[in-house]
Amino acid sequence: MTLSGKRILLIIGGGIAAYKSLDLIRRLRERGASVRCVMTAAATEFVTPLSAGALTADRVFTDLFDREEEHDVGHIRLAREADLILVAPATADLMAKLANGLANDLASAVLLASRVPVLMAPAMNPAMWSHPATRRNLATLMKDGINFIGPDRGEMAESGEAGEGRMAEPPAIAAAAEAMLDGGHKPLAGRRIVMTSGPTHEPIDPVRYIANRSSGKQGHAIAAALARLGAEVTLVSGPVSIPDPAGVKTVKVETAREMLAAVEDALPADCAIMVAAVADWRVDGEHDHKIKKTPGQAAPSLAMVENPDILAAVGHHAKRPELVIGFAAETRDVVDNARAKLKKKGADLIVANDVSHDSGVGDRGVMGGDRNLVRIVSPKGVDEWPELTKQEVAGRLAALVAERLATIVV
């Protein structure tokens, strides 16, 4: 009963996937949650409030302007009397409304009035999902802290069209709800994990530096996911513009050398996950003063020197953690390169992602985008994950770390 005592408000949007939400209610209740339902007017065209009410064993709420409903419970109370609001299916319309703060029906008013975590399970036609308007709304909602599960790739129920847009399956949605509500499950309690995330900045002179496109989104999401599972996480982060993850000790650094020193300071640890896009080279002999442009003189040339490899240093360290995980952003020969890296860097697992511009993930590829397509490469083989949000990759990786560490006796 992992959701025992948890109150979930399920908002059912108007899409064919609404029929799956009836199964979702059953699965949430099986795990001990109490479920209350709000249905949009469109949702009632697909499933009846009677069915939803029979499954929740509660009243179903449909109308913002129903005097009786507003008098008895009211949209503000509906929003507040929940530990989690789950929107399934989250239609393009519901996403657009919340992204823009519209509140012209009960479902959107409840979402706008809520102060509790929100999980959306989008479902729509692939063309609607990939439309720039929906992508914009998705980015806004993610920035606002809304969590997402799915959509999956597959055949659409209504048109038979294939593509991304099918609602995640009820068991996966229930598992995501569990992860968000913790469910008291802390398999990483007592485990120390050191991580790196973001880019490094390598100074040229006091005003200029060499950097890269890493946003820190993936590394920070992993740190947060590990903390939710109870781990004591030290996150050594290069300069990023995203907030520090909740429940994590964040150490801020700029250069690769500072990053290495902070990582070594955090040892011993049970696990190290090196996600940072560390600059391979730094400028040899950083200038103490700003390099001046002198008319008539040739452009300066910069001599470069190799930076320490932090992952390799940890992988071969006297205080090597039991589990060492690296990332490999590649633009070609992804798996072969990852395999070579396992050995060279002394890692147990490499999370390999294709950051080539034609990988079709994110707005500008993986770096800076919100989605990721990864393969987990170990000496035993390759596990290919579907295209997921960075949050989902983080959740899965945290679960994998918990599984691997559970087999290692402290």
Tell me which stretch binds ligand C5P (CB under 6 A): 53-61, 271-279, 295-303, 361-369.
271-279
Using CB under 6 A, which of 34, 62, 196, 234 touches ligand C5P? 196
Q: How far is the CB of 341 from ligand C5P (least distance, A)?
A: 6
Out of 28, 47, 121, 256, point to the residue binding ligand C5P (CB under 6 A). Answer: 256
377 binds ligand C5P, rule: CB under 6 A = no
Q: Which of 39, 92, 146, 278 binds ligand C5P (CB under 6 A)?
A: 278
Residue 60 pairs in a beta bridge with 37
Q: Quick one: how far is CA 214 from the chain centroid?
A: 15
Least distance (Å) between residue 170 CB and ligand C5P: 35
Other CB atoms closer than 10 Å to residue 253's CB: what's the count? 21
User: Is 310 one of the binding residues for ligand C5P (CB under 6 A)?
Assistant: yes
13 makes contact with ligand C5P (CB under 6 A) = no
**Does residue 269 belong to the site contacting ligand C5P (CB under 6 A)?**
no
| Residue 286 CB neighbour total at 10 angstroms | 15
Residue 274 makes contact with ligand C5P by CB under 6 A: yes
Residue 69 touches ligand C5P, criterion: CB under 6 A: no
- Name the packing angle between helices 170-180 and 18-30 (round to 10°): 50
Q: How far apart are CA 265 and CA 73, in angstroms?
A: 54
The dihedrals phi and psi of 247, each to the nearest 5 degrees, come to 75, 20
Q: Which of 14, 170, 183, 326 binds ligand C5P (CB under 6 A)?
A: 326
- Asked whether the beta carbons of 271 and 191 are under 8 A apart, the reply is yes
CB of 327 to ligand C5P, least distance (A): 4
124, 15 Cβ separation under 8 angstroms: yes
Cα–Cα–Cα angle for 379, 384, 385, rounded to 5 degrees: 130
- Which of the stretches 9-17, 185-193, 306-314, 358-366 binds ligand C5P when contact is defined by CB under 6 A? 306-314
Q: To which H or E segment does residue 260 belong?
A: helix 256-265
Residue 136 vs 316, nearer CB to ligand C5P = 316
CA 350 to CA 343: how far, in whole Å?
A: 10
Cis preceding linkage at 151, omega within 30 = yes
Start-to-end CA span in the chain (Å):
28
Residue 104 annotated to the active site:
no
Question: What is the spatial distance between Cα 354 and Cα 362, in angstroms, rounded to a whole number?
Answer: 11
Residue 88 vs 256, nearer CB to ligand C5P: 256
> Could you tell me which stretch among 16-24, 207-215, 270-278, 369-377 binds ligand C5P (CB under 6 A)?
270-278
Q: Pick the catalytic residue from 212, 337, 353, 372.
A: 212
The DSSP annotation for 207-218 comes to S-EE-----SHH
**Residues 309, 354, 370, 392: which binds ligand C5P (CB under 6 A)?**
309
Nearer to ligand C5P by Cβ, of 156 and 210: the residue is 210
CA–CA separation, 20 and 124 (whole Å): 14
Contact 354, 371 (CB under 8 A): no
Of 245 and 315, which has the nearer Cβ to ligand C5P? 315
Interstrand relation of 281-283 and 304-306 (parallel, antiparallel or unpaired): antiparallel
Decide: is 327 part of the binding site for ligand C5P (CB under 6 A). Answer: yes
- Binding of ligand C5P at residue 307 (CB under 6 A)? yes
CB of 207 to ligand C5P, least distance (A): 24
Select from 61, 55, 93 the least CA-distant residue to 76. 61
From the list 64-72, 85-93, 269-277, 283-291, the region that binds ligand C5P by CB under 6 A is 269-277
Interface mask toward ligand C5P for 151-190; x: CB under 6 A: ----------------------------------------
Measured torsion, CA atoms of residues 171, 174, 180, 185, in degrees rounded to the nearest 10? -80
Q: How far is the CB of 314 from ligand C5P (least distance, A)?
A: 8
Binding site for ligand C5P (CB under 6 A): 196, 256, 274-276, 278, 280, 307, 309-311, 326-328, 341
Positions annotated as catalytic residues are 212
